[in-house]
Amino acid sequence: MKELKVGLLGFGTIGTGVVKMFQKNAELMEQRLGARLSLARIADLDITSDRGVALENGMLTSRVEEVLDNPQIDIVIELIGGYEPARSFVLRAIENGKHVVTANKALLAIHGDEIFGAAEKHGVEVFFEAAVGGGIPVISAIKESLCANRFGSVFGILNGTCNYILSRMTSEGEDFDLVLKDAQVQGYAEADPTFDIEGVDAAHKLALLMSLCFGTRVRFEDIYTEGISSISALDIQFAREFGYKIKLLAISKKDNGRIEARVHPTMIPLNQPLADVDGVFNAVCLSGDFVGPIMLYGLGAGMEATASAVMGDVMAIGRNLLAGAKVRTPSMGYVMDQVTELAIKSMDDVETQYYLRFAATDQPGVLAQISGILGRHDISIASMIQPERREGGAVPIVLMTHEAREANIRRALLEIDALQVVQDRSHFIRIESELG
């Protein structure tokens, strides 16, 4: 029976999951593939820590060249993460004629053009199912099963850490800082959670989804990115009263030749399926012109779910090798000379509904002043929550607008914040009622 050899870069949590899958499901994978997958070498800086898996003598090495330059290895799995040295290692593997599987969304969002161009030049494949949505097969769905559709939009809950924090805040009424600390203790958030809670991780993933869906190059810095650290328990409470949940949403829509590209906290109606995606789960919603709306849902991170996606890519490359197919599917779903340059829509031009919260002095005429400014900026009020009056101090004034232009909202809030009766900076959250 033919044997395909695999090398692994990175023996952390996901790498350990890959090794476990090799060991536990080797026979099943052989039956499905018709060939034997052999884990030939694992390279990591730490070759002494116990990962809870038994390895053959000599398999683990600290010398990366024993994977990258080994002529017997057909496929290299990159699970180091980050930009460097991952970029250099992936390019070296490609130059050596090896196919690559990676879970590194940050690497591909920033250096994808260089990596995919090198792969095309050297006639090898780069697969990255695990880079978006953990175990959810969204990349293969876009590139294969749904590839005859024109996509109008893609939405996603793409970061399990943020979704876990917001879910806990919603169910328990706790403030952000307290829930974040508990998430770190339980291992759902990193010691430095910046990439997660500030939306950077989700924006990396959105960059890949946009390229796949719309066949365009996406500069990561063009994606508007806003995190969840400003969301309060008060916002969660008012969202519920209006019939919404707050989620960190990655959003891209086609609009008259431009595409929206934004990641930010978003209110979505309680009757939308995405509102029920809680905890560390992820979901991606796609809208195709023939297939209509589709939602893919599952574990967005974790050892086993991510290892499943990695090994699915290894199996797909293995099938292509056995069939003699060379780069059967373009890395980003479009042949490279057909990739377009769609303009990114400015956030100033985005039009949606808004939730507005003001901290104002409890006295007559305040609402009239605020609504007057909103009206002058073409912003109309759809509904309002009027908390009970109390003597002294500030009271929240909470409004939901009809659809408005973002630039108008920002200008109006600057004017409102300058009022003497407004005691703190105004707060707003965008609303998406139509998902798909």
Q: Which of 105, 205, 247, 254 is catalytic?
A: 205
Query: What is the distance between the alpha carbons of residues 214 and 135, in angstroms, rounded to a whole number?
Result: 23
Task: For residue 189, report the phi and psi dihedrals to the nearest 5 degrees.
Answer: -135, 145
DSSP state of 220: G
46 alpha-carbon distance from chain centroid: 29
C-alpha span between 417 and 408 (Å, rounded): 14
Residues 6 or more apart in contact with residue 265 via CB below 8 angstroms: 166, 226, 227, 228, 230, 231, 246, 247, 248, 249, 429, 430
Question: Residue 69's CB: how many other CB atoms inside 10 A?
Answer: 14
**Cα dist. 432→81, 94, 99, 349, 435 in Å?**
32, 42, 40, 15, 7
Query: Would you give the DSSP letter of residue 387?
Result: P
Q: What is d(CA 100, CA 126) in angstroms, rounded to the nearest whole number?
A: 5
Beta strands 99-102; 126-127: pairing state: parallel
Residue 247 annotated in active site: no
- Tell me whether strands 262-269 and 258-259 are parallel, antiparallel or unpaired: unpaired
CA atoms within 13 A on the CB side of 332: 29
Between strands 351-361 and 244-255, the pairing is: unpaired
Q: CA 73 to CA 76: how far, in whole Å? A: 7
3-state helix, strand, coil in the chain (%, to 5): 40, 25, 35
Distance CA 405, CA 165 (A): 29
- Which residues are tagged catalytic? 205
